[in-house]
Structure 1
Amino acid sequence: MIPLCVPEIRGNEWKYIKECLDTNWVSSAGGYVDKFEEDFSRYLNIKKAVVTVNGTSAIHLALKALEIGKGDEVVVPSLTFISPVNAIRYLEANPVFVDVSRDTFVMDAEKIEEAITPSTKAILVVHIYGHPVDMDKIMNIAKKHNLYVIEDATESLGSLYKGKHTGTIGDIGCFSFNGNKLITTGAGGMLVTNNEEIGERAKYLSTQTKTILDNGGFYHEEIGYNYRMPNILAAMGCAQLEFIEEYIKIKRENALLYNKLLKDVKGISVPAEKEYAKNVYWLYSIIIEDDFGITRDELIKELKENGIDSRPFFSPVHKMPPYVNYRYLDMSVTEELAYRGINLPSSVGLKKEEIKIICDTIRKFNK
């Protein structure tokens, strides 16, 4: 089976993790936690990074640090992994769903203003599958209506918007280091911001709001969260980050080969890359049109039977039981993409020969 997207372990992971084991620094204290935050900040050219236990916790902290709470509205796409929407509800705020663009699969900035009400407090953009949202339009809308902007960049680490890293343009950016992401710590996340006060607040909340007293005891002034990343995982993150530019280069080369082999196949729409964007192609994603000959789900089944893993696009969140009663606008593009979209194998270790096999197999079922 050619897998969908698996980790690439090729550097100092064993060395750094062994150092943690040899020195007993395996928990939330230890030098690699600070180093990972510092290295990540330097890579993104941003002032503050706060490491977390996963990407969802980073989004939760971002919302909490911006004091978004009960009754506030947050504009968010419905075509997304459910994590950012759940994080909104953790704080008893309300998601308001907007549609996406058909060619890039990300939030359609032209449709945001009609979703804004006096209760709206933030826009939570999701750079889905690696393509950046049109952030200039988002930031202009946010400024006009005095809204915060949070970037869910969990799928777009390495992608650029007009030369700037996704996650560094809004008030706060959030990343994930799950096993299928560009770089991985097994589980883990990161919150980043150029507002050092917000960054310190997020760090304080992530460590159970712990203050160490003169006698070594702990004191907590408010409710906090145990969102710390263990040193042993941060060590892996430091090793992974050393190869990030090489991984990005491979991802983009693979996407270009996919495009070359699939762009002329009738009934397939390959992913766009807007002039403002450099897409890391976290997952290489295509659309199966009516004239392909078989449906998206039929193609997934055929690929599996030929030893090729694939996955449908995310299901619309506004149609899931926890969210059917929340406000949404026209969702026609979201619902169409959820029906037609498919993610193809996208591992860094994917071989060129395997891409050719995948594309030849797809062509075989093109009727």
Structure 2
Amino acid sequence: MNQKFIPLSVPNLKGKELEYVTHAVETEWVSTGGPYVNEFEEKTAKYVNARGAVSVQNGTSGLHIALQVCGVTRLDEVIVPTLTFIAAVNPVKYIGAEPIFMDCDDSLCMDAEKLKDFCQMQCSFIDGQLINNKTRKHIKAIIVVHVFGNMAKMEQIMEVATSYNLKVIEDATEAIGTYYTNGPYVNKFAGTIGDVGVYSFNGNKIMTTGGGGMVVSDDAVLLKKTKHLTTQAKSDELYYMHDEIGYNYRMTNLQAALGLAQLEQLENFIKIKEKNYRLYKGAIEEIAGLSILEFDKNIRSNHWFYGLYINYDYPLDRDEVIRYLSTKRVQVRPIWGLISEQIPYVDSQTYKIEKASDYVRHVVNIPCSSNLKEDDVEYVIDCLKKL
């Protein structure tokens, strides 16, 4: 009998998803109106201990709106990571602003020390604005991405942001459920430390609505503005009056019904993912040339994705590992290509990109679904051992 296919990351829909979605269909609340949308917003905000939440069509639209409500304009620049999915940076261009690319540290998240160094050495702080010495433009914000369910060093990043009057947008699209267990932000969830946080519920995330996302904040003004812009900026709903350019970004009731069922299971999903991570880690540490990337010791991570680091001691390189595991019906993927090297961004400013380049050459993601069985994990490990 052929070995079954082991996908990289697929949804786990074994809760009340069908019940809630069926109810939405039977009551004919299937579009952006409907009780599940409001309930999902309220329960997401409660789960992460945020003041409020506004649903959106996906994480990308959430980041687009976050930039707008934080006051970023086409005249501004935004500091972003180079090692992330391109959807974290494209919204900067939607606004018409320019990105400045920063390196990662060993968490794969933005290097807080290089961020501080860049602001100190490459910029000037004039009349409450951080001015880029090279372009003479105002740097308005930082987009921080919490990669694979890890968490960036938010204490240091927030210190930089406070010192230079920068808005902080947390791309927590991969990190819902991750929170600090130590330090000044103990018990604070990814997405709730900066000015605005954004979550994604894409099909490969730890919880899914098929598509969809959520914007969270503790700032009532930003939340009100976010809701206004994501619902076509209606100043008078009855007479369809609009006071600015808005967007059709609100989540549908069907998506929210799915999301509520997923949120109910999130803590269990995290337990399963952490267990499988530890199974992988314990066994792979014994294989010469391989290691599993660590999660920060000061956080409870959601363990969304597992990063396999392939050293030069291993008989295969990154691309050979991908091809080899494919023949064994195991789906793996390389980490993203650096955004600063992509065609739309090759002329953008970068700052000391070093570690990110190394991780791109050496890291692949291995199967991590929350419905992954122990024997699936063991099969992947056995494949890696047999070389």
TM-score (norm. length: structure 1): 0.97
Q: Which amino acid aligns with 2:52?
A: K
- Report if the CA contact (8 A) 1:96-1:115 is conserved: no
Which of 284, 305, 313 lines up with 2:327 in the alignment? 305
Report deviation, 1:270. Answer: 1.5
- The answer to whether 1:61 aligns with 2:65 is yes
Task: Provide structure 1 residue ranges, at least 5 long, that are not aligned to the other structure.
Answer: none
**Residue deviations 1:306-342 (CA, integer Å, cap 9, x gap):** 0100000011000000000000012121111111110
Q: Quote the residue 1:262 is aligned against.
A: 284
CA distance in 1, matches of 2:164, 2:89: 21
Q: Quote the residue 2:33 is aligned against.
A: 29
CA distance in 2, matches of 1:362, 1:152: 33
Q: Quote the residue 1:121 is aligned against.
A: 140
Q: Quote the residue 1:133 is aligned against.
A: 152
CA distance in 2, matches of 1:230, 1:247: 24
CA distance in 2, matches of 1:114, 1:219: 47
Q: Quote the residue 2:128 is aligned against.
A: none
Q: Quote the residue 2:243 is aligned against.
A: 221
Report deviation, 1:273. Answer: 2.4
Q: Quote the residue 1:295 is aligned against.
A: 317
- Report if the CA contact (8 A) 1:128-1:156 is conserved: yes
Task: Provide structure 2 residue ranges, at least 5 long, that are not aligned to the other structure.
Answer: 124-130, 132-137, 181-185
Which of 203, 217, 226 lines up with 1:193 in the alignment? 217
Q: Quote the residue 2:175 is aligned against.
A: 156
For residues 1-367 of structure 1, the aligned pairs below 5 Å read 1-101=5-105, 103-116=106-119, 117=123, 118=131, 119-161=138-180, 162-212=186-236, 216-365=238-387
- Report if the CA contact (8 A) 2:281-2:291 is conserved: no
Report deviation, 1:150. Answer: 0.6
CA distance in 1, matches of 2:75, 2:279: 47
CA distance in 2, matches of 1:212, 1:36: 25
Instruction: State the aligned residue count.
Output: 362
- Report if the CA contact (8 A) 2:236-2:242 is conserved: no
- Report if the CA contact (8 A) 1:50-1:190 is conserved: yes
TM-score (norm. length: structure 2): 0.92
Moved over 2 A (4+): 113-117
**Residue deviations 1:18-72 (CA, integer Å, cap 9, x gap):** 1111111100101001000000011011101000000000000000001101121
Report deviation, 1:271. Answer: 1.2
CA distance in 1, matches of 2:168, 2:277: 29
Match of 2:351, SS? coil
Match of 1:143, SS? helix
